Chain A
């Protein structure tokens, strides 16, 4: 589409597409956390909603199909925070490795002990 009319991929109003799939889900904790980080980071002036969209739009159409909504968001929030100087790429790499080494599931790796009465992140 973008080859012929100058549109970028996200500019999809009026294009052909299949029927609407009437699907919805309750947001998972990690998705809500991504949303919260976006709101907090923009409220604190680290970046703007335009920055969020710029990085998502730069992903291109393939990733729109492959990644879920909050996967695109966390990618963009992270990119914007690095650009804002909140932390460096190497700090991110180090922290991601540290997190991954904690366990195999999100619950195990997220810890949640910082202010939670459920110590250890295993919320049972």
Chain B
């Protein structure tokens, strides 16, 4: 099945670098010696299938769904919020419902959208674990789950943001939002100057994953 080809570098245009098409290293997987925990994963999955609790197809579909979610989804929400004042108001009032309206269902969880302005900058974290708006951004980056980020961003956010290359003026208020298992946040970055008249598709390109976590700004147009 297609998922078994993730470690086949020669299938990608980046084979000479050992990096994936997204520019990140592959984690060792298929061709490395089986680890104890990989052994457990296979065993658990096969037991659940043998017991009729799930099927191989369900597992594949779940992974497909996971692979299909990416920050491009969140960027669509942000671009629309920049362009459509009624949607922006609905999004800030009730992001769970507003994003569901666009087809990004967060299930039983609640979503809160927090908007960056000239005077307020928002950043999200999960200090207790790794809660993240996966329905809009896909799976979180490793650093989001690191002790360093989780511990420090709530206490010294400006220092942490500077480690990402984002230095904010002193008169900008920084608000850090700590996610929970039931409550997720997404940052709506400020719309860059000089973007009047851009289409939704053009605006979406300015919205990075990191800008929706709050460790970066939306990109200014070229």
Beta-carbon contact of A104 and B4 below 8 Å: no
Which residues of chain B come closer than 8 Å to A11, judged between CB atoms?
127-128
Beta-carbon contact of B44 and A46 below 8 Å: no
Chain B 29-50 interface mask (CB, 8 Å, partner A; 1/0)? 1111111011111111111110
Which residues of chain A come closer than 8 Å to B193, judged between CB atoms?
none
Beta-carbon contact of B26 and A44 below 8 Å: no
CA distance A21 to B152 in the complex (A): 12
Beta-carbon contact of A81 and B44 below 8 Å: yes
CA distance A14 to B106 in the complex (A): 28
CA distance A92 to B44 in the complex (A): 7
Q: Does B102 contact A (CB under 8 A)?
A: no
Beta-carbon contact of B4 and A116 below 8 Å: yes
Interface bin, chain B: 35 or more
Beta-carbon contact of A13 and B22 below 8 Å: no
Which residues of chain B come closer than 8 Å to A14, judged between CB atoms?
127, 151, 154-155
- Within B139-176, which residues are at the interface with A (CB < 8 Å)? 139, 141-143, 145-152, 154-155, 160, 163-164
Binds A, one of B57-65, B80-88, B112-120: B57-65
CA distance A19 to B54 in the complex (A): 42
* Residue of B31, B32, B44, B62 with highest tally of chain A CB at under 10 A: B44
Task: Given A24-B24, A106-B30, A123-B5, check contact A96 B39 (CB 8 Å).
Answer: yes
Beta-carbon contact of A12 and B147 below 8 Å: yes
Beta-carbon contact of A115 and B130 below 8 Å: no
- Within B1-30, which residues are at the interface with A (CB < 8 Å)? 1, 3-8, 20, 22, 24-30
Query: CB within 8 Å of A: which residues of B?
Result: 1, 3-8, 20, 22, 24-35, 37-49, 51, 53-60, 62-63, 66-67, 125, 127-130, 139, 141-143, 145-152, 154-155, 160, 163-164, 178, 181
Jot down 13 A-B pairs with beta carbons below 8 A, ordered by A.
A11-B127, A18-B148, A23-B142, A25-B26, A32-B63, A35-B66, A49-B181, A96-B43, A99-B39, A99-B46, A110-B42, A114-B56, A123-B8
